[in-house]
């Protein structure tokens, strides 16, 4: 609770000062934070384990870089849904064990 109050006060006081921060510096900070959030070992294993999920990851990655984050989220959600529906269809239409 105290952390939330401190953050609220900091945002209220420091918001006018944020206008003086260059966007290139904010971009660098955002890039470093995003790089540290990535589970690099999981991404390295993904292409060898499942090509469908690797394709969804690649599409989302390139859309985020070259288009827009919002568009990447929507397309990634749609592709992930299609992949899930395809897997469920294969699961439910397989022959019953005898």
* Predicted pLDDT of residue 94: 77
Q: In angstroms, what CA-CA distances link 82 with 12, 30, 52, 87, 89? A: 43, 31, 10, 9, 10
Q: In angstroms, what CA-CA distances link 50 with 24, 44, 84? A: 36, 11, 13
Looking at the domain assignment, is residue 85 inside a domain?
A: yes
Looking at the domain assignment, is residue 6 inside a domain?
A: no
Looking at the domain assignment, is residue 9 inside a domain?
A: no
Looking at the domain assignment, is residue 25 inside a domain?
A: yes
Write the pLDDT tens digit of every residue in 11-45: 888 888 878 889 899 888 888 988 888 888 888 88
Question: Which domain covers residue 79, as residue numbers?
Answer: 21-93
Write the pLDDT tens digit of every residue in 56-83: 989 998 999 899 989 999 999 999 999 9
Looking at the domain assignment, is residue 5 inside a domain?
A: no
Domain count along the chain: 1
Looking at the domain assignment, is residue 11 inside a domain?
A: no
Looking at the domain assignment, is residue 14 inside a domain?
A: no
pLDDT grade, residue 86 (50/70/90)?
Answer: very high
Q: Cα 29–71–61 angle (5° rounding)?
A: 55
Looking at the domain assignment, is residue 98 inside a domain?
A: no
């Amino acid at each position: 609770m105290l952390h939330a109050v401190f953050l609220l006060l900091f945002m209220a006081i420091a918001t006018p000062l944020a206008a003086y921060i260059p966007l290139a510096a904010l971009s660098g900070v955002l890039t470093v934070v995003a790089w540290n959030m990535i589970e690099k070992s999981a991404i390295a294993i993904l292409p060898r384990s499942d090509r469908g999920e690797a394709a969804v990851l690649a599409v989302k990655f390139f859309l985020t870089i070259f288009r827009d984050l919002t568009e990447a989220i929507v397309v990634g959600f749609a592709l992930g849904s299609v992949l899930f529906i395809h897997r469920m269809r294969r699961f439910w239409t397989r022959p019953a064990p005898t």
